[in-house]
Amino acid sequence: MRKLYLLLATVVISAVALGQTTAKKEKKVKTNVSIGMTAARASGDISDTHSAGFGGIGQIMFKQKNSDVSYVITTGVLTFRGKDSVADFTQMPILVGFRYHYDVCYSGLSMGTSIFDQNRGTQFTYSLLMGFNLSKAVTIDGRYLLASKEHKNIASFNITLSFCL
């Protein structure tokens, strides 16, 4: 639990430090909504019983004009296929985080919770990502998504192709 608090403190300090500006900037906030398709590969404890996953992701991004930092709310549905007659399961992550934008790419961190079917309940979830802007309306990103509860990890490596609406 101590590591979790340290991680949360680091994220907050990083967001505040990266959000500081030296020049007076216009306060206009740009909002983008995007939807995407996701392919996932299970890892962690769940990889013994489940393999590939697929699903959809929706994101709302808030970004100040002339800023390199944006804030993101992400949700979606991922379904993982079971191996050897094990039932499939569904994960619905609900994450809040930030991205730091470079020229044509970005990196980010999100935290929140995941809701699972099959009486798995909810689990603390975080996500690290790196993505590329293919055009103004299309992005592709790689994401490591980890849900952890009571020393059980449900993790996946995800590739998402998103379209800005």
pLDDT in tens, the chain (165 residues): 555 555 555 655 655 555 555 555 555 888 999 999 999 999 888 888 888 999 999 999 998 888 899 999 999 999 999 888 888 889 999 999 999 999 889 999 999 999 988 777 888 999 999 999 999 899 999 999 998 877 778 899 999 999 998
Taking the CB of residue 127, how many other CB atoms lie within 10 A of it?
22
SS (H, E, C) the chain: CHHHHHHHHHHHHHHHHHHCCCCCCCCCEEEEEEEEEEEEEEEEHHHHCEEEEEEEEEEEEEEECCCCEEEEEEEEEEEEEECCCCCCEEEEEEEEEEEEECCCEEEEEEEEEEEECCCCCEEEEEEEEEEEECCCCEEEEEEEEEEEECCEEEEEEEEEEEEEC
101 and 70 Cβ atoms separated by less than 8 Å? yes
**Longest CA–CA separation in the chain, Å:** 60
